[in-house]
Structure 1
Amino acid sequence: MVAAAGELFLDRGYTATSLRDVAAIAGVARPTVAAAFGSKPALLRQVLDEALAGDDEPVPVADRPWFAPVWRATRPREVLDAYATVCLLVAQRAARLFEVVRRASGESAEIAQLWDTLCRNRRAGAEMAVRKVRETGSLRDGLTVERAVVSVWIFNDPALYHSLVLDRGWPEADYRDWIAERMNTALLEDPTGGATGT
């Protein structure tokens, strides 16, 4: 049902997709979909959660194996390079779904709340990356933690992947390298080698 819903949300958009459509594609009765998820917004949230995580296990993003290189990094540049890879992975899985939610966010309070949650979660990821940068070194002179978080939050937006990779045809490796360089330049005194703290 989740796979069927994801396919329909991407192909038709949120508004044009009904629980009846999802049931038909999934080969189940409509009441089965309603009983499992309760509402269309809840179904969209489940589709997003599974896309972002890669499965349906209740494991926080920060505890996922694919986030581990961020925690293992020992220099600021390594942190941001690893985080750029995380951003690419998330965008590969969910950039198109983020756009579905953004477009539908004005249609109901529940979808607006879902969009707000996505934005806040992106900020939380940015905060984790900045915290790790500071643990392994330092931010460039004059840069506040708040400004650093906002900078990373801008570059972890899957909309950039949508624009550059899906719309403009950039190779994914180029996209990943581009956001890594932008984050390093924004945050570090020496973006080629990583600032080191004392």
Structure 2
Amino acid sequence: MPSDKTDLRAARVAETEEKILRAATDLFVRQGYTATTLAQVAEHAHVGARTVYVRFGTKAALLKRAVDVAFAGDTAPVDVGGRPWSVLSRTAPTAAERIAALVSGARQMMERVGDILSVALQAAAVEPELAAAAHAGRLATRENLRLFWTRMASDGLLEPGRDLDWLTDTSTVLIHAETYLLARDMIGWDSVGHAEWLSTTLSRLAGLPR
């Protein structure tokens, strides 16, 4: 069983990480990836520069962690698939409730991650680690959507014979954060407008009345 000292030390480490990530996110969004240094992040977070270097190692690793935490919502070791809204999207009793949970979770993620993800996607052009992370994120989104539709079908919430591959691929493009960024920057949608569109479109894909 962990001691009180161990718990306190872990809490301090987590608090320091959160301070660094808040500072990094602020600077990356305001200044861009290239102009932001780890030394600036340390100063902005009011921690020693060595603390940032030891914890993250590189600027790319720090930005990747900032994006990951923005998607998840906090630094807890629970991936997106294990978050309550995500679980509800696979287990709610009706198709409408599952879509509502999925859209609600997506809206919250877009509100948190939009600006910092935009920075990371630009930086991915020169940082292989970020490019690989972006690709892995796209694949993970697709697999989560595949599980969503597969569960819907197996629970009898879709009409028999629906093409699950097509539903997976189409909804992956619709729900992905990069589509949100495109809609935000090109059309002017905010997260609420995007969520309304997503809810309507996913419901139509599922064959639900609107």
Q: Is the structural similarity TM-score above 0.5?
A: yes
Is 1:62 equivalent to 2:90 in the alignment? no
Shift of 1:81: 2.3
Amino acid in structure 1 at the alignment position of 2:43: A
- Structure with greater contact order relative to length (CA < 8 Å, sep ≥ 6): 1
| Matched length | 191
* 8 Å Cα contact 1:126-1:156 kept in structure 2: no
% same residue: 26
After TM superposition, the structure 1 stretch with the greater mean CA deviation from structure 2, 23-32 or 110-119, is: 23-32
Which residue of 61, 69, 92 maps to 1:42? 61
CA offsets 1:25-53 (integer angstroms, 9 cap, x no match):
11223222111111112111211122112
* 8 Å Cα contact 1:14-1:104 kept in structure 2: yes
What are the equivalent positions in structure 2 for 1:135-146 lying under 5 Å apart? Answer: 135-137=154-156, 139=158, 143-146=162-165
Is 1:191 equivalent to 2:208 in the alignment? yes
Rounded Cα–Cα distance in structure 2 between residues aligned with 1:101 and 1:142: 39
Rounded Cα–Cα distance in structure 2 between residues aligned with 1:67 and 1:142: 25
Rounded Cα–Cα distance in structure 2 between residues aligned with 1:3 and 1:42: 15
Which blocks of at least 5 consecutive residues in structure 2 are unaligned? 1-19
Is 1:33 equivalent to 2:32 in the alignment? no
TM-score, length-normalised on structure 1? 0.84
Counterparts in 2 of 1:124 and 1:104: CA distance versus 1, 3 Å: same
Shift of 1:94: 0.7
Which blocks of at least 5 consecutive residues in structure 1 are unaligned? 194-198
* 8 Å Cα contact 2:153-2:159 kept in structure 1: no
Residue in 1 that maps onto 2:130: 111
CA offsets 1:85-125 (integer angstroms, 9 cap, x no match):
11111111112222112111110211111111221222122
Rounded Cα–Cα distance in structure 1 between residues aligned with 2:159 and 2:170: 13
